[in-house]
Chain A
Amino acid sequence: MESPTSLLEDSPEKFTRAQGFLLTVVACAGTTVVATPLLDYLDLANIVMLFLLTVLLVAVRLGRNAAILASVLSVLLFDIFFVPPRFSLAVSNIQYVVTFAVMLATALITAHLAAGLRQQARESLAREQRTRALYQLARQLAGTLTVEQVVDIARDFIEKQFNARPLILLPDEEERPRVVSHADSLMVETHLAQIAMEGGQPVRSEDASGLGYAQLYLPLRASMRVRGVLAVKFVSSPTDLTADSTSLLEILASLIAVAVERLHYVEVAQATEVKMLTERLRSSILSALSHDLRTPLTAMVGLADSLFLVKPALPATALETAQALHDQAGRLAGLVGNLLDMARLNAGEVILRREWQPLEEVIGASINLLGNALEGHAVKVQLAADLPLLEFDAVLIERVLCNLLENAAKYAPKGSPIVVTAKADADAVEVAVMDHGPGFPEQRRDDLFKMFVRGESESSKPGTGLGLAICKAIVDAHGGQITADNRLDGGGCIRFTLPKGIPPVVEEESR
């Protein structure tokens, strides 16, 4: 590929101005030398044509100024060397004055037109080059996979096209522009970058250049938002930036912005995918673990029970041991269940299987599920008559209620009732589980819902301090709140809320 010429300087000259003039002089002199021997064969009018041709060629090759010089020189040389009396400026026939005038006029007009054409050709060439460069840039940017690549491509482009050094700044978490790669020692005025990013308009500062800072700050405007700032430091002063160059820089900025935005969404998509895979892995590990732990526990519980079936019956002490084995294995199973639940709930967003349903049902199911664990406690359920349908995950809320009821049964004295109430207010339904136990210590109530925290740290009652943490995780996932409290007459009370929402209509049945 040919090396792209700088677009900042207006157009390339093959020769310097002095060289151009020298060549012009040489060309005119050459024409004179060539035409002299032809004088015997050619009319003077045709010699004029030769000079006009020279002017045309000079105009095409060397530009307007050289062509004007060639026009004047041609007339002079024609006068001196060809028009009698030769070798003098004097003119024998006054008619030749007309010849000179016409010749000069023709030459100048030719020079003007030819030079104009040349200028246009060069401009369109430059335009084409610019388009090609931008096209190439867009193609390169479309293939980028990292922001660093975008920066490299932009730097290449700006260095070649503008003889300037760029830096790209992207917003950090606090929406402050931050330089992407530090490979470059170019200094940027972050304040100006911030203005450009917030305002969405280019910011220029001539003062900054003296201090070695980048002078031009262009916002990277993409379809959704400003994605960052392109800072450019020109080696020369940027005051001579043409309109073309400015618009080119703006196009460049928006191309970079699109690339950065695309990369942003690629990143978002990748993060989602990674999260999904992690989630899947975690849930498969948890269910494998759950299976592997539960299988031996099931065997232990069942085998301990089966000792009761041995014939002839084992002695009473052996059966007591068997019962203890059964109970301990059952407890262990409960703990494993709690730990796995906590791991599942803690692992990230809880997946809720929400369905609209009456609260009453899940309360009844929880009491039924606990069965023997509630032995010695009458459970009173007092529900307000106007409870709406609520949208919740029944399995998880059942878990909350079971944990709360089990706790109450564990700590309250045998024979005391446990009361479950529920009432609705404007935007939530509050469920309370109350017992006649020792209640909760005043100062540590909020800690109760943290993992591995227990009301009394050295309690003789078995437990891990996971139950309430699980409740909190589940209630939180439903957008509710859970609090611990004591009843006026002593005894613990845990309340949790579930948001009301707009329940679906159950059409009345036509009778």
Chain B
Amino acid sequence: MNAVAAKVLIVEDEKQIRRFVRMAVEEEGCQVAEAETMTQGLIDAGSRKPDLVILDLGLPDGNGIDLIRDLRGWSDVPVLILSARSQENDKIDALDAGADDYLTKPFSVGELRARVRALLRRRSRSGETVSPLVEFGRVAVDLSRRVVTRAGEPVHLTQIEYRLLSTLLAQPGKVLTQRNLLREIWGPSYIESSHYLRVYVGHLRQKLEDDPTQPKHFLTETGVGYRFQP
């Protein structure tokens, strides 16, 4: 736990949802501020400088996605989205606008706390010097030497596989949209060619996961994108 309590801003119009979200976040030892509307949320985000924003996409005075775009103009505070299922497009838009993660309603307090912890951990880590060594499962990646080993054995990755891996590793826990990854790795003209991304994620799983059919680290967010789980 951090020495100074992390500040979390909850932007949600539904009082009862706000209530239990607040309880769950406070349980993580955070200070909580609440906002009911998009306008209030933006003001609070500016004045209180929170370490995490939990944002409901359907607000009475506007779309939460606009709030993210606005916020991203001057802040890189992590944003956790609360959204209803069957709105993949909203999720993608929110993530593309700069949100970090999302929870699908209804969600349990356990899930919420896990996401909050992960996002706050990333924040506290950002101040440290970044280590070029990343380890997950039985895999070790040395980003400075571009060496990947699995259970001590070197693993050969193609250029694109390596670029995909390092992009995913750079933002652990964060959901990266397909569009985002395609643009980053293949370039803007490949944005519609999602099968490239899928095939190469498959390659990474084949080479780095213990059971490629039930991956533990390179997770699919169906219809949205991918997440690297250390």
Contact = CB atoms under 8 A, between A and B. Distances in A.
Interface of A: 287, 290-291, 294-303, 305-306, 308-309, 326, 329-330, 333, 337, 340-341, 344, 353, 355-358, 360-365, 367-369, 379, 381, 383, 389, 394-395, 398, 503-504, 506, 509, 511
12 contacts: A287-B86, A291-B84, A294-B105, A298-B17, A302-B109, A303-B16, A308-B109, A355-B194, A357-B194, A360-B213, A365-B222, A367-B214
Nearest to B192: A355
Interface string B191-210: 00111101101100000000
A493 B211 CA distance: 23
Contacts of A360: 202, 212-213
A509 B17 contact: no
Contacts of B193: 504
Interface in B98-140: 105-110, 112
Nearest to B158: A509
B48 interface: no
B107 A301 contact: yes
A362 B202 CA distance: 11
Interface in B31-79: 58
Nearest to B229: A368
Contacts of A368: 214-215, 219-220
A369 B104 CA distance: 11
A146 to B, nearest CB: 41
Given A287-B87, A360-B202, A361-B220, 19 more contacts: A290-B86, A296-B16, A299-B17, A299-B20, A306-B19, A306-B24, A309-B109, A333-B106, A356-B195, A360-B212, A361-B202, A364-B212, A364-B213, A364-B215, A364-B220, A369-B222, A381-B213, A389-B199, A511-B159
A102 to B, nearest CB: 97
Nearest to A330: B106
Which has the most chain B C-beta neighbours within 10 Å: A303, A364, A367, A394?
Answer: A364
B23 interface: yes
Contacts of B160: 509
B108 A302 contact: yes
Contact of A394 (B109, B201, B219, B222): B222
Contacts of A329: 106
A291 B58 contact: yes
B190 to A, nearest CB: 11
A57 B120 CA distance: 114
Given A362-B220, A364-B214, A506 B24 contact: no
A355 B222 CA distance: 12
Contacts of A506: 195-196, 199
A446 B86 CA distance: 29
A323 to B, nearest CB: 11
Contacts of A294: 84-85, 105-106
Nearest to B26: A309
A368 B214 CA distance: 7
Contact of A309 (B27, B87, B107, B199): B27
A358 B199 contact: yes
B107 A337 contact: no
A377 to B, nearest CB: 13
Nearest to B21: A302
Interface residues of B, number: 43
Nearest to A367: B214
Contacts of A303: 16, 19-20
B230 interface: no
B93 interface: no
A305 B58 CA distance: 23
B188 interface: no
B14 interface: yes
B23 A306 contact: yes
Interface in B2-16: 14, 16
A305 B108 contact: yes
Nearest to B206: A360
B17 A302 contact: yes
Which has the most chain A C-beta neighbours within 10 Å: B88, B109, B110, B215?
Answer: B109
B154 interface: no
A381 B194 CA distance: 24
B153 to A, nearest CB: 20
Nearest to B88: A395
A309 B29 CA distance: 12
Contacts of A511: 158-159
Contacts of A363: 213
B223 interface: yes
A297 B24 CA distance: 17
A305 B110 contact: yes
A442 B226 CA distance: 42
Contacts of A290: 84, 86
Contacts of A394: 222-223
Contacts of A383: 213
A270 B16 CA distance: 46
Contact of B85 (A330, A337, A353, A509): A337
Nearest to B195: A356
A503 to B, nearest CB: 8
A503 B87 CA distance: 27
B198 A358 contact: yes
A32 B158 CA distance: 122
Contacts of A379: 214
Contacts of A297: 105-106
A64 B129 CA distance: 119
Nearest to B161: A509
